[in-house]
Amino acid sequence: MQEIERKFLVTNTDFKQEAFQQTHLVQGYLNSTPERTVRIRVSNEQAWITVKGKSSADGTSRFEWEKEIPLQEAKQLLALCEEFLIEKTRYLVKAGKHTFEVDEFHGKHNGLLIAEVELQDAKETFEKPVWLGQEVTGQKEYYNAYLKSHPIT
């Protein structure tokens, strides 16, 4: 139950031509402290509750537990979440043997593009697409739990 990922800004929307899937997501936080976050996420007719622990010193790994929950219960829990929900479109883009999740944020973060790649090991190498920009792994201002109440303009 360990999540290992690296996070990057995205320089342009060329990734959309390479995407093999896109999904609209709405998520809120029941708790967003750095020691633990508890997130509710809804995508189409599915929903999940996710608990994440504190990140490692370099920001690449942390404990993650996730469970699918009934959609109606998720909608009720979203109503209990901390102020401001995050809405985004997630694109899945294959690059070499990895799949990047590219999030295009809407609302108060309109225009923000962040890509994440999950790894088996923190030192694992991966192919970097041309649209991948500055690495922001470990920078709290690019975590969704922080973005929910701190707009990036």
Per-residue model confidence (pLDDT) at position 34: 83
Look at the chain and count its residues: 153
pTM of the model: 0.90
Domain of residue 7 covers 2-147
Establish if 153 belongs to a structural domain.
no
Q: What pLDDT does residue 135 have? A: 97
Q: Residue 150: its pLDDT value, please? A: 84
**Rounded to whole angstroms, how far apart are CA atoms 50 and 62?**
12
What's the total number of domains in the chain?
Answer: 1
Give domain status of residue 7, yes or no: yes
Chain centroid, CA 130 distance in Å: 20
Task: Please tell me the predicted confidence (pLDDT) of residue 153.
Answer: 59
CATH number, domain with residue 64 = 2.40.320.10
pLDDT in tens, 77-99: 999 999 889 999 999 999 999 99
Residue ranges of the chain with per-residue pLDDT less than 50: none
Give the residue numbers annotated as catalytic, written as ranges: 29
